[in-house]
Amino acid sequence: MLTVGEALKLPEPNPRGLRVGIVGAGLMGHALAAIFASSGSTVTICDSDERTLASANERIHATLRGAGLDQKAANSIQLVSDLNDLGPECNFVTEAVSENLPLKQDLLHRLERQLPKALFATNTSVLCVGKIAAQMDAPDRLLGTHWWNPPYLIPLVEVVQGPATRPEYVRWAISLLKTLGKSPVHVKKDTPGFIGNRLQHALWREAFALIEEGVCDAATVDFVARNTLGLKLGVLGPIENADYVGLDLTLAIHEHVFPALSVATQPQTVLRRAVAASKLGAKSGEGLLSWAPGAREKVAANLNEHLANQTRKPLQ
């Protein structure tokens, strides 16, 4: 067993022959299993929920079909309900359980003792890696790999370096993800939401603020976003756009617009009221917009088709 602070002896960052453990067979966990298995890894998924585990194989096959991958890859995926069945031979273990900090802390503390030779990754989308690692004896063995949903269509993965994460483990994970055909980025500072979600939720904050302030209705917010920013972001990032129009113009606009932007540090009232009224969006049939039966499935199909078309070319 490794002593605290001793470096792991990791294999070559190649999915072929890698033994991967995934804790959580839900939305992300089963899809990650399909990705690794289709690239040659031997995968074990663990989930204590019987219903989730029972449906995992069907969902794995559906993901493989949706991604155009060989269905035979599912044969190299083992489904277990007990963490002890992950096996000591695991090299790389990703947790994909719910966004519950105590749950993740307890899980990682147990896993590090059970699997002394494994590198661990958390697929959290917002929690700090350092906080998740707070109960670990060797927090240097944990890093973040934030995959975006659906992970078989979106190439980008944020690799988050926690305060204690060994830099060589970050380099190893980035190399591994590249061999999987992904486009990893190094998040050098462990901050809530990392990069993508901070950008996304800053936009959402302003979107809710516009509705709350009576500037426009929800449908108009979406229409404007899709037909302005949405048309350009695929080829022109925000910093590139600022440089493109000129930083002097950008500064002048900021001086006029920033005082009017939302600086809320808590979710807006319009969002809280909707949730309190059980208007949760597509899942309940109504949120800030109305969702007719079948509307969510239609949006999902359109989104997947759009993402598939967009990601046939290299990321810019």
- Give the residue extent of every domain in the chain: 19-187, 196-266
Predicted local distance difference test score (pLDDT) of residue 14: 92
Q: Is 93 helix (H, G, I), strand (E, B) or coil?
A: strand
Please state, in angstroms and rounded to a whole number, the distance separating the CA atoms of residues 185 and 173: 10
Report whether pLDDT(1) > 60.
Answer: no
Does 196-266 match 19-187 at the fold level? no
Can you tell me the mean pLDDT for 27-43? 95
**Mean of the per-residue pLDDT values for the chain?**
94
Query: Can you give the pTM of this predicted structure?
Result: 0.93
In terms of Cα–Cα distance, which of 67, 82, 81 is closest to 36? 67
Structure tokens at 93: 């273990």
Q: 69: pLDDT confidence band, cut at 50, 70 and 90?
A: confident
Task: Read off the amino acid at residue 44.
Answer: T
Helix-then-strand count for the chain, H and E: 12, 8
Q: What are phi and psi of 132, to 5 degrees?
A: -65, -35
Q: 309: pLDDT confidence band, cut at 50, 70 and 90?
A: confident
Can you tell me the mean pLDDT for 103-130? 96
The DSSP letter of residue 311 is T
* CB-CB neighbours of 311 under 10 Å: 15
Please state, in angstroms and rounded to a whole number, the distance separating the CA atoms of residues 59 and 82: 20
Q: CATH assignment of 196-266?
A: 1.10.1040.10
Can you tell me the mean pLDDT for 264-274? 96
Report whether pLDDT(223) > 90.
Answer: yes
* CB-CB neighbours of 302 under 10 Å: 10
Burial (Cβ within 10 Å: 0-12, 13-18, ≥19) of residue 124:
buried
Predicted local distance difference test score (pLDDT) of residue 316: 65
In terms of Cα–Cα distance, which of 11, 242, 27, 277 is closest to 150? 27
Report whether pLDDT(188) > 70.
Answer: yes
Report whether pLDDT(257) > 60.
Answer: yes
Count of residues for the chain? 316
Predicted local distance difference test score (pLDDT) of residue 3: 54
Contacts for 102 with CB less than 8 Å, ≥ 6 apart: none
Predicted local distance difference test score (pLDDT) of residue 313: 67
The DSSP letter of residue 127 is S
Structure tokens at 72: 């035979």
Domain 19-187 classification at class level: alpha beta
Report whether pLDDT(2) > 70.
Answer: no
Beta-strand runs (E) in 76-191:
77-80, 92-95, 119-122, 142-147, 156-160, 183-187
Percent of the chain beyond pLDDT 70?
Answer: 97
Cα separations in angstroms, 313 against 85, 143, 159, 303, 307 = 40, 29, 22, 17, 11
